[in-house]
Amino acid sequence: MRRLILAALVTTLVVATAAQAVPITFKVRMALQVQLGNFDPAQDFVDIAGTFNGWGSDPLTPLADADGDSIYEVTLDGFTPSEFIEFKFRYNGQWDGTEEFPGYGSNRVYTVLESDNLIDVWYNDFAPGDGQVEIGELHWWNDAVFYEILVRSFHDSDGDGIGDLPGLTQKLDYLNDGDPATDDDLGVTGLWLMPINDSPSYHGYDAIDYRAINPDYGTMADFEAFLAAAHARGIKVIIDYVMNHCSDQHPWFVASRQNDPAYRDFFRWSPSDPGETGPWGQNVWHWNSSGWYYGLFWSGMPDLNYDAPAVKDAMFETATYWLDTIGVDGFRLDAVLYIDEDPGRLQSTQGTLQFWQEYNAHVKSVEPDVLSVGEAWTASTTVIQYVIDDRLDLCFEFDLSYATLGAVNDADAGNLKGKASQVYSLYPYLQYATFLTNHDQDRSLNVLGHDLGKAKAAAGLYLTLPGVPFVYYGEEIGMVGSDAHEYIRSPMQWTDGPDSGFTTGTPWQAINGNYEQYNVLVEESDSGSLLNWYKQLIRVRNQSSALRHGTYQPLTSSASPVLAFVRSDELQTVLCLANTSDIAQGGVTLTGTETSLVPGDHEIVDLLDPADTRTITITPGFEISNLSLAGHEVRAYEFEIVTGADPGLGDLPETGLRLDQNHPNPFNPSTTIRYALPARSHIRIGVYDVTGREVAVLQDGVQGEGGQEVHWDGADRKGQALGAGMYFVRLEAGDEIRFTKMMMVR
């Protein structure tokens, strides 16, 4: 729930006394950078820039490789135990994009220990490996596209200027109408609601009752009605659960500061000021008439003390209440880094990691399919601790979001290629949450300079890359907002009318000035709008098993602005291309490996534009040549093998049973399916959607030997027209089964 603060601008150097000073040894491993040709030991040097040396200007601090093992190191003195530092490694003392995590990448962070301070990392956190990832268990959230909502800002049903739960329920059809045959809704299948508990603050991250609904939003009955309506449309719902801290108006804290023995140890108290500061240099101990209490974020949010068993029991029982009694599908967990604090260390302590194991064991015992997604706003290599060893299911990948936005802003996909590969290899298979920005950050269109082309490219990237995507409300229509959080969380823009259709009263926060152009009503009627691009991307992802479940194989592109990768599973292979530049890229050559590209001629169709069909050749050297992309263009080509590769599903086996590719393909509104039987037999031909649901039966009876054909008009069993997308034909004859895929466009 915090904003990322650039430490370079706000942190001042703390001068330690001689008695307090301790050293830190910094090591950075450069072997892979040398191997990749990014770093030449004969000409380049690596230095460290951080809060402790004026970010590399006072003084320049190079590291040395004394024994030629490509491990560069330096030991620096003068640090204070408990001091929080931020830093990056870089090349040649320059901020030129070769530094670690360029563009929008996180700083490295470290809290100084009393002794044995050693930092030993790979440059850019890229370590050598074979690039192969073990395919692990998938879950319902791997099929989802989530949408983050501040209820206060979504839709007001009663004219008081504040969004509410009935208003959210009224707008569910915009998000997903529950009908797979339609394609005019956004298509999201999961919702994350920012805090809905009773709270004194507009944002709700300081609860005064964890089991009550904020009266501004309605009643528990309103929430249950909303939840039932969402579930009826196939939408899962997770809610923000702020376990790290509560409001200073919470009855627990009121009793604690009054020295009630039943609640005193619900919070951390000290008779004197311990003098500790937090990760951003803030005071974390706050005065009250009964002593000093600990609150990481500010005095109005005292941290809960999980060393007290009663606190843990109460918070775990509250999770049970929301899962078992109310029926939510999971939780977004705020500030997961800070549950437990040790002397000299405020985040990612062993106590914190142990807590999340205990939490996970509890909620899984209540509901095995519950989703827990954590906010661990730090570097990927630290975040991973929260998604392994039976802790949380997902965490948000902040570094990947910075790399995605940075690639589009810099018109260079190189860093994103490396970061996407690192993240894919780092986490359990596909178990991380992707996004562009959230409620604590400047909106993505602001970050991208109000450039719609960049916004479309960024959306195309994160909705085709691996992970579980989360869209921030209004992102899909180009809402803007920066600086103060209220501006980033302003009301949703529905129409170009008064107050953008959000309320009939006075909105709690002013509507953005761009609402007349950027709103749902106007953009729905514009085929080239950002909104319709998001609808198309989400629809394609929902229909593509490879984009939801598939492996990730990056390709090498001859054009630095082009990111190219292959997503593949047992049903589908998709070649994804994205031009991060506004300049068209022609004559592009892609190079892969035997695990990503199959030599031969391939018919491909763009899932984002099914009218774009072509045949490409992959050489024995695993190359594809002479591709072109317009500025900021994104493509997702599905492969169909034509020649030179292994037999496909429709090829004629020795038995003689044959199912040919339908023609035309793609088709609108009808297509012909031809097949041949080696002998008279009972056959059944069914059509299935991408979820495996049978939507139509074309033949079910006895037929004679020889060639046959059947026509399909794109309708289901009831004669209702189905939506555009991929479908599967299944031919069953005796013990033999054949499949083929077809693409319907509308």
The pLDDT of residue 695 is above 90: no
Quick one: pLDDT at residue 697?
92
Domain with CATH 2.60.40.4070 in the chain: 658-744
pLDDT of 587-598, one tens digit each? 999 998 877 788
d(CA 307, CA 128): 40
Question: 57-71, 123-137, 290-304, 699-713: which range is least confident on average?
Answer: 123-137
CA–CA dist 335, 347 (Å, integer): 10
Which of 732, 688, 737, 729 has the alpha carbon at shortest distance from 711?
729
Q: Which residue has the higher pLDDT, 86 or 203?
A: 203
CA 394 – CA 75 distance, rounded (Å): 36
Question: What is the pLDDT at residue 128?
Answer: 65
Q: How confident is the model at residue 84 (pLDDT cuts 50, 70, 90)?
A: confident
Q: Return the CATH number of the domain spanning residue range 144-243+308-478+530-543.
A: 3.20.20.80
Candidate from 44-48, 50-54, 454-458, 742-746 with smallest mean pLDDT: 742-746
Q: What is the pLDDT of residues 568-581, one digit of tens each?
A: 998 899 999 999 99
Domain span(s) for CATH 2.60.40.1180 in the chain: 546-643
Query: For position 188, what pLDDT does the model report?
Result: 98
- pLDDT tens figures, 717-735: 888 888 877 788 889 888 7
The number of angstroms, rounded, from the C-alpha of 362 to the middle of its chain's C-alpha atoms is: 25
Task: Find all residues with CB under 8 Å of 466, minimum gap 6, and list them.
Answer: 420, 423, 424, 430, 434, 550, 552, 567
Say what the pLDDT of residue 746 is.
Answer: 67
Q: Strand runs (DSSP E) across 295-374, as ranges?
A: 330-333, 371-374
Share of the chain above pLDDT 70, in %: 93
CB burial of residue 162 (10 Å; 0-12, 13-18, 19+): buried
DSSP-derived secondary structure for 672-730:
EEEEEESS-EEEEEEEE-TTS-EEEEEEEEEE-SEEEEEEE-SB-TTSPBPPSEEEEEE
CA-closest candidate to residue 711, choices 741, 662, 671? 671
pLDDT at 127: 67
Residue type, 55: W
Percent of the chain with pLDDT over 90: 71
**CB-CB contact of 386 with 356 (8 Å):** yes
The domain defined by 658-744 folds into Immunoglobulin-like (2.60.40)
Beta-bridge partners for 279: none
Q: What is the pLDDT of residues 105-114, one digit of tens each?
A: 678 888 888 8
pLDDT value at residue 647? 32
Q: Which two tokens stand for residue 26?
A: 């910094």
Q: Show which residues are catalytic.
A: 334, 375
CATH superfamily, domain 7-125, is: Immunoglobulins (2.60.40.10)
- Looking at residue 124, its amino acid is N
pLDDT surpasses 60 at 644: no
Query: Taking residues 636-656, what's their average pLDDT?
Result: 52
Query: What is the reported pLDDT for 655?
Result: 47
Q: Give the pLDDT band of residue 645 (cuts 50, 70, 90).
A: very low
Range list for CATH 3.20.20.80 in the chain? 144-243+308-478+530-543
Better pLDDT: 318 or 15:
318
Mean pLDDT of 121-135: 71
The string of pLDDT tens digits covering residues 616-625 is 999 988 899 9
Read off the pLDDT of residues 205-221 as tens digits, 9 standing for 90 and up: 999 999 999 999 999 99
User: Which of residues 115 and 691 earns the better pLDDT score?
Assistant: 115
74 has pLDDT over 90: yes
Q: What is the pLDDT of residue 651?
A: 35
Q: Is the dihedral of CA 242, 247, 251, 254 positive or negative?
A: positive
Res 76: pLDDT: 96
For residues 53 and 168, what is the distance between their CA atoms, to the nearest angstrom? Answer: 50
For residues 16-30, give the mean pLDDT: 79
Provide the pLDDT for residue 48.
97
User: For all residues of the chain together, what is the average pLDDT?
Assistant: 90
Tallying the residues shown for the chain, one arrives at 746
| pLDDT on residue 133 | 72
Q: What's the burial of 701, exposed, middle or buried (CB within 10 Å: 0-12/13-18/19+)?
A: exposed
Q: Quick one: pLDDT at residue 98?
A: 84
Domain 546-643 has CATH 3.40.50.1370: no
Pick the more confident residue, 716 or 746: 716
| 394-412: average pLDDT | 97
pLDDT exceeds 70 at position 447: yes
Q: In this predicted structure, what is the pLDDT of residue 423?
A: 94
Summarize pLDDT for 25-55 with one digit per residue, the tens. Answer: 999 999 888 877 789 999 999 999 999 999 9
Mean pLDDT on 608-632:
94
Average pLDDT over every residue of 620-638: 95
What is the C-alpha radius of gyration for the chain, rounded to an integer number of angstroms?
A: 28
Q: Tokens 């000409």 belong to which residue?
A: 43
At residue 483, φ and ψ (nearest 5 deg) are 70, -115
Return the number of other C-beta atoms located less than 10 Å from residue 221's C-beta.
10
- pLDDT at residue 280 greater than cutoff 90: no
Can you give the pLDDT at residue 94? 92
